[in-house]
Amino acid sequence: MSNRRRPRLAPPHLSRRQFLGRAGALAGAVAIGPSILAACGRRRRRRRRRWGGGGDTIVISNWIEYIDEDKALIAASEEAIGAKVDYKEDVNDNNEYFATVLQPNLGQGRSPNRDGFIVTDWMAARVIGLQWVQELVREAAPNLANLRAALADPSWDPGRRYSVPWQTGMTGIAYNRSVTGRDLTSTQDLLDPAFSGRVTFLTEMRDTVGLFMLLDGKDPTNPTFEDAQGAFDTIEEAKNSGQLRGFTGNEYVNDLSTGNLAACIAWSGDVAQLTKDDPNIRFVIPAEGGMLWSDNFLIPETSEKAELATRWIDFFYDPVNAAQLTMAIQYISPVDGVADELRKLGPDGVALAENPLVVPTDESLAQVRIFGSLDEEEEQRFDERFAAITGA
């Protein structure tokens, strides 16, 4: 998910963190140029170098604002595993992380200098398929048994040998009721001419195309390029007609609260916090269905500290710690028993435990689908068509 992070009381302007994120993306764009140039000069001998690091330190990459603000949980995890954790918030976008960190290193058999990183399902599927990651050290991680059963066996990683979810979330539609003047219930509402120029979709292809496939009566859990044509056509038409203001990562959060946007495709965790501050901002899972995704923890094939890294993620599978994390970031925890632990954390915790966007109910889970995996060729066709529409 591009730019996904915990929402805040959004000022109308760009916050420092957002700016840093963007600047990072730019710096990445600048930085990748030379490495590509260097790489294309001559075919280098593939060399396997394992990354040692110094002493007992593990390096973890995660998304921005995907942990408690003062990082007390990181300190607690260091205590628990008896090693330092160099926690980098340097994942800003799946594609960008792949292009700047994973591919230039793992693609050439070099270490990316990470012992763990967190990316969304489809990207996790890709790196597992490319055999760039190694198995988790299950026997060192008793808490991983607390993984919710529904998440235990994805098609791209049967039995979760290589990956475990960090958090999960839902994709649906968010709207500002003071702008729309009515409640929205369907993805079709995003195409209402009354909201012309005040609607955004996500740059995350699977979220946007997934919702429109559902609207089109197609099944995104088993996607084919043919089935997606209707969805692509609708998205293209919305763009050409000026209905769409843009394709966004998480920057829709600001535009939604300032009223620049009437409605948009959005991620549940972002909106959960906004709603608390402004009840006019609402999130719904469209009547035709919404999407469900996870961000997954993986260990690069080059890491020599797989056991430490596995123990680190295991720390967050203790329901007590998982509940702390949920309190801080309000996404859906993949850990069983979090709701009970939340209820022990005072009124705020109880409120979260009752919030179907944070602790989904059977009904809300029945409404969401997981975008099925695409083989390499299909994925390229999807990406190319989507890129042609997003205009870049």
Partner 1 sequence: MEREPAPGVKRGRFAPYGLLAPGVLWLALFFLVPLATLLRMSLSSKANRFDFEPDFTWEWSNYSDAITEFGEQFRRSFAYAGIATVLCILIGYPLAYVIAFRGGRYRNLLLGLVVVPFFTSYLIRTFAWRTLLADEGPVVSLLQDVGVLADGGRLLATSWAVIGGLTYNFLPFMVLPIYVALEKIDVRLVDAARDLYSNGWRAFRKVVLPLSLPGVFAGSLLTFIPASGDFVNAQFLGGPNHTMIGNVVQNQFLVQLDYPTAAALGFILMTIITVAVLVYARILGTEELV
User: Which residues of the chain form contacts with partner 1 (CB under 8 A)?
Assistant: 12-14, 19, 22-23, 26, 28-29, 32-34, 36-41, 43-44, 95-96, 98-100, 103-104, 107-108, 130, 197-198, 239-240, 242, 244-247, 258-260, 376, 379-380, 383-384, 387-392
Under a CB-based contact definition with an 8 Å cutoff, are residues 282 and 274 in contact?
A: no
Nearer to partner 1, 18 or 333 (CB): 18
Smaller CB separation from partner 1, 93 or 314? 93
Among residues 9 and 23, whose Cβ is nearest to partner 1? Answer: 23
Nearer residue to partner 1 within complex by CB, 38 or 150: 38
Alpha-carbon dihedral of residues 387, 185, 273, 180, nearest 10 degrees? 90
Q: What angle do CA 283, 67, 7 make, to 5 degrees?
A: 30
> What is the identity of the amino acid at 89?
E
For partner 1, give the closer residue by CB, 78 or 96: 96
Structural element, H or E, at residue 298: strand 290-300
Find the shortest distance in angstroms from Cβ 111 to partner 1. 15
Minimal distance, residue 72 CB to partner 1, in Å: 31
We find the least distance from the C-beta atom of residue 107 to partner 1, in angstroms, to be: 4
Beta carbon nearer to partner 1, 114 or 245: 245
CA separation for the pair 227, 372 (Å, rounded): 13
Measured between alpha carbons, how far apart are the two ends of the chain, in Å?
A: 18
DSSP per-residue codes, 126-190: HHHHTT-EE---GGG-GGGGGB-GGGS--TTSGGGSS-EEEEEEEEEEEEEHHHHSS---SGGGG
CB of 24 or CB of 154, closer to partner 1: 24
Shortest CB 126 distance to partner 1, Å? 8
Query: Going along 301-353, which residue ranges are E strands?
Result: none
**The residue type at 164:** V
Cα atoms in the Cβ-side hemisphere of radius 13 Å centred on 7: 27
Q: From the CB of 228, what's the least distance to partner 1, in Å?
A: 18
| Separation CA 321–CA 323 (nearest Å) | 5
| Min separation Cβ 90 and partner 1, Å | 14
At its nearest, how many Å lie between partner 1 and the CB of residue 77?
Answer: 31
Among residues 312 and 386, whose Cβ is nearest to partner 1? Answer: 386
In the bound state with partner 1, the residue whose beta carbon lies nearer, of 99 and 345, is 99
- What secondary structure letter does DSSP report for 361? -
Cβ 206 vs Cβ 371: under 8 Å = yes
Question: What DSSP line would sit under 197-208, residue for residue?
Answer: T-EEEES-HHHH
Q: How far is the CB of 254 from partner 1 (least distance, A)?
A: 9
d(CA 367, CA 356): 12
* Least distance between partner 1 and beta carbon 358 (Å): 30
